[in-house]
Chains A and B, each alone.
Chain A
Amino acid sequence: MVLVEVMPKAELLDPQGKAVAGALHRLGSSAFDGVRVGKRFELHVVGPVTDAVLAEARQVAETLLANLVIEDVVSVREATDLEARA
């Protein structure tokens, strides 16, 4: 399995993260002073995870999974056994 992580661009407003941060404060949590919310994609691979598969995953990530105008692909990697089972 390949994991792709996408985050909103650091410079741009992240309304979802802002809402979660606000909720944290209302609930009395003071350990965190900011939240950003991104997304994780799990790509189930046909056969073994090769460099070619990872390259294809990156290409898919940059053309379909992320909107590069407002988001960044921050990670494309093979899932660990633990993650793959989860």
Chain B
Amino acid sequence: MTSDATPTSTSTVHVDSVERAAATPDREQPYAALGLTDGEYAEIRALLGRRPTSGELAMYSVMWSEHCSYKSSKKYLRRFGDKVTPKMREHLMVGMGQNAGVVDIGRGWAVTFKVESHNHPSYIEPFQGAATGVGGIVRDIIAMGARPVAVMDQLRFGDLADPDTLRVVHGVVAGIAHYGNCLGLPNIGGETVFDKVYQGNPLVNALAVGVLRHEDLRLANATGAGNKVVLFGARTGGDGIGGASILASDTFSAGGPTKRPAVQVGDPFAEKVLIECCLELFHGDLVEAIQDLGAAGISCATSELAANGDGGMRVDLDAVLLRDPTLTAEEILMSESQERMMAIVTPEQLEGFLAVTAKWDVETSVLGEVTGTGRLEITWHGETIVDVDPSTVAVDGPVYDRPVARPSWIDALQADSASALPRPTEGGELREALLALLASPSLASPAWITDQYDRYVLGNTALSFPDDGGMIRVDEESGLGVAIATDANGRYSLLDPRAGAQLALSEAYRNVAVTGASPLAVTDCLNFGAPTNPEVMWQFAEAVDGLADACLALEVPVTGGNVSLYNQTGSTAIHPTPVVGVLGTIDDVAKRIPSGWQDDGLNLYLLGTTALELDGSAWAGVVHDHLGGRPPAVRLEAERDLAGLLAAGNDEGLIAAAHDLGEGGLAQTLAEAVLRFGLGARVWLGDIEERDGVDTATALFSESTARVLVAVPREEDVKFVGLCAGRRVPALRIGVTDVESGTLEVQDRFEIPIEELRAAHEGTLPARLGARVGG
């Protein structure tokens, strides 16, 4: 298996050439089995002026799929681009449309980051599905010219009590750990939620971050006629081409059940070599353009590179190095074999390029070259099997304006407010509710999961689980770094998808701010049900609109992301789950703010105000199994003020710890902040109740937004209070840290020893999933 092995083919399948397609216009083609509609097939025929060859049909079918073409979502995604101010563009080096967005963070450094879904493969084969999800997003980062430096995950699983959830959780977590740990990338955070709506459709959204010098930036544009098209990395095999086998039979109508697996198997060690190889190629200035191979493999890479460029491309498929010589041309075009990249290289660079790939033992083959024809031409066994305008494949695919309908059930759902539920008043009940929330699967410690990931490899991790956001040092000299947080709340989004998306952004923005970083840019992964359902389309439209508006208000641009549709358990769609990742910068990671206190006698301040906002809350879900009403009010102005205050307070060294208030409200935040370093606190709620006109349960469990708990050293008290007043941020002193007590005490209500809190928080997942690793 050396790089000079000649590709062979034992295939005796008759080649469906362009010539043959023109001569046999009436031949029946299995477009429906490949997921194309009658209308789409007719459009392909009209574009080509003849029937497509089976190779062209393969390309169009994968590239016009929902996953690759965004045909249902495109109309809405344009809104992200429309709602941008000059200030939002200021730091944006590359926006939506490339492999990943790139943001200037100063000192000549740039950061690229993106979140992408691998939901469906992770249900079929949890380990490999999740592992290749990590591998895929990391290749997107490499393709921008960056060195990957960290990963994160947003996970949604079914009911923790369901036996199938165990299969999925064990596989997904082990798969992420396997790929990320082998690559040597720290996993710096994320979020895990268990909810029965994800039972037959877990969500695995993987985020990766990369770092580059400005001059290393690379784009996926194939320009310059005569430049070489080079495929390098792993060999092409029969991975993930389940559907393509239909085309493998000579008579298309033969069809029959597929033998080819629909999943892919990844090799993180091959990817690690590919990372180092690519970086050396970039630093040697040996590539003009580069693109990773993910979904739709060579079909996608050739058509996107050619469409983004200024000319055409001619490629000979016989030059593709194969793992399995029996693959047909259609299968080679559609194969999703992992750990492959495609580069555009000038003839002068080629020798140097091949020397680098040979040094890293990365198999490389020159497939063809960039042309000036404006056509993408692919040959196989001496015959032209594809001759298309690449933009019709990659860019100008179908765009649907699908029917949208406000769900008939939503008024009744919104009318069913949690404020009507009985709220505990007595100390014992409040205590019990706090512990129940803390131990509930989605709020319990995810240490069982995160302990399987390496969080500190590479030596630049400043914050990771269990802090609110992850933080990585970028520049070892100055300490310049970035913080990233990802959030989503499917329950809020079901009640009101517009607000739900905005609340996900609010929380991720706040989670970045509490680390001491300043939010700068956004990536999103929009997980929804089937777009053919008008009610799902309404949810999607509302969420995108809401998110675009909120990004504008907070002046953080969406730099890229991913849409995942058709997420449903049986015929029931998942809760709309718009995952939002926010990236922020910090001058020096040494100035990061921890999420728990480490000293005695610090004053605890609650920033922001509390209202009766229990609809969609964790309290309503855990204690009453209730989901109804309207999610908490979105307060973007207040979020901005709060982030500004945290940055200013941190600059002056006034903040010893800060923890965001989110699901589970103040109760969950207090418990987590106490558990962070195992130091107790004494808290009183009377002032909140009086100022905001709420009862104790609301003070503890309401999920009002734009709130943060901060610990302030006594000697900085006056300055801090003054700063809050000057910046219009409501601040109320609600307690002090108390190292001696060993408890979380809510005065006149209840007291819980730290050990009891810890047992509740950390017991749930191991009790169901097995002992913690290395805990």
Contacts and interface: CB of A to CB of B under 8 A. Distances in A.
Contact of B261 (A18, A22, A69): A69
A13 B125 contact: no
Contacts of A19: 269
User: Considering residues A15, A25, A33, A34, which has the most beta carbons from chain B within 10 angstroms of its beta carbon?
Assistant: A15
B261 A12 contact: yes
Contacts of B338: 13
Contacts of A18: 1, 267, 270
A9 B125 CA distance: 14
A12 B2 contact: no
Nearest to A18: B267
A19 to B, nearest CB: 8
Interface in B559-587: none
A84 B374 CA distance: 66
B188 interface: no
A11 B238 contact: yes
Interface in B233-280: 234, 237-239, 259-261, 263-267, 269-270
Contacts of A13: 234, 237, 239, 264-267, 323, 337-338
Given A25-B1, A33-B1, A69-B261, A11 B267 contact: no
User: Considering residues B125, B270, B323, which has the most beta carbons from chain A within 10 angstroms of its beta carbon?
Assistant: B323
A22 B269 CA distance: 13
A14 B265 contact: yes
B2 A11 contact: no
A43 B603 CA distance: 65
B216 interface: no
Given A11-B324, A13-B264, A13-B338, A34 B1 contact: yes
A64 interface: no
B interface SS class:
loop
A15 to B, nearest CB: 4
B22 interface: no
Interface string B205-248: 00000000000000000000000000000100111000000000
B128 interface: yes
Given A69-B261, A70-B128, A12 B239 contact: yes
B405 interface: no
A16 to B, nearest CB: 9
B23 interface: no
A14 B128 CA distance: 12
A85 to B, nearest CB: 36
B324 A15 contact: no
Contact of B265 (A25, A34, A70): A70
Nearest to A33: B1
B124 interface: yes
B254 to A, nearest CB: 19
Interface string B669-696: 0000000000000000000000000000
Contacts of A9: 261
A86 interface: no
A67 B128 CA distance: 11
Contacts of B259: 11
Contacts of B261: 9, 11-12, 69-70
Interface in B318-377: 323-324, 337-338, 361
Contacts of B270: 15, 18
User: Considering residues A12, A33, A34, which has the most beta carbons from chain B within 10 angstroms of its beta carbon?
Assistant: A12
Given A13-B237, A69-B125, A8 B265 contact: yes
A21 interface: yes
Nearest to A67: B125
B260 A11 contact: yes
A31 interface: no
A10 interface: yes
Given A21-B1, A25-B1, A25-B2, A12 B264 contact: yes
Contacts of A33: 1
A69 B269 contact: no
A12 B238 contact: yes
A12 B1 contact: no
Contacts of B361: 22
A10 B238 CA distance: 9
A62 B265 CA distance: 20
B265 A69 contact: no
Interface in A33-50: 33-34
A15 B265 contact: yes
A14 B259 CA distance: 17
Contacts of B238: 10-12
A18 B265 CA distance: 12
Given A13-B237, A13-B323, A69 B263 contact: yes
Contacts of A15: 265-267, 269-270
A70 B2 contact: no
Contacts of A10: 238, 324
A18 B270 CA distance: 10
A9 B261 CA distance: 8
Nearest to B235: A13
Contacts of A67: 125
Interface in B113-138: 124-125, 128
Nearest to B259: A11
A12 B237 CA distance: 7
Contacts of B260: 11
B237 A11 contact: yes
A19 B1 CA distance: 11
Contacts of A34: 1
A12 B124 contact: no
Contacts of B323: 13
A69 B324 contact: no
A70 B125 contact: yes
B265 A12 contact: yes
Contacts of B337: 13
User: Considering residues A9, A19, A25, which has the most beta carbons from chain B within 10 angstroms of its beta carbon?
Assistant: A9
Contacts of B234: 13
A8 B125 CA distance: 14
B1 A11 contact: no
A9 B258 CA distance: 14
A73 to B, nearest CB: 15
A7 to B, nearest CB: 13
A15 B324 CA distance: 14
A67 B261 CA distance: 12
A76 to B, nearest CB: 21
B128 to A, nearest CB: 6
Contacts of B124: 69
A21 to B, nearest CB: 6
User: Considering residues A11, A14, A21, which has the most beta carbons from chain B within 10 angstroms of its beta carbon?
Assistant: A11
Given A9-B261, A34-B1, 14 more contacts: A8-B265, A11-B238, A12-B239, A12-B264, A12-B265, A13-B237, A13-B264, A13-B265, A13-B323, A13-B338, A15-B265, A25-B1, A25-B2, A67-B125
12 contacts: A10-B238, A12-B239, A12-B264, A13-B239, A13-B265, A13-B266, A15-B267, A18-B1, A21-B1, A33-B1, A34-B1, A70-B128
Interface of A: 8-15, 18-19, 21-22, 25, 33-34, 67, 69-70
Interface of B: 1-2, 124-125, 128, 234, 237-239, 259-261, 263-267, 269-270, 323-324, 337-338, 361
Q: Which 8 A-B pairs have the closest CB atoms?
A: A11-B238, A15-B267, A13-B265, A69-B125, A12-B265, A9-B261, A11-B260, A11-B261
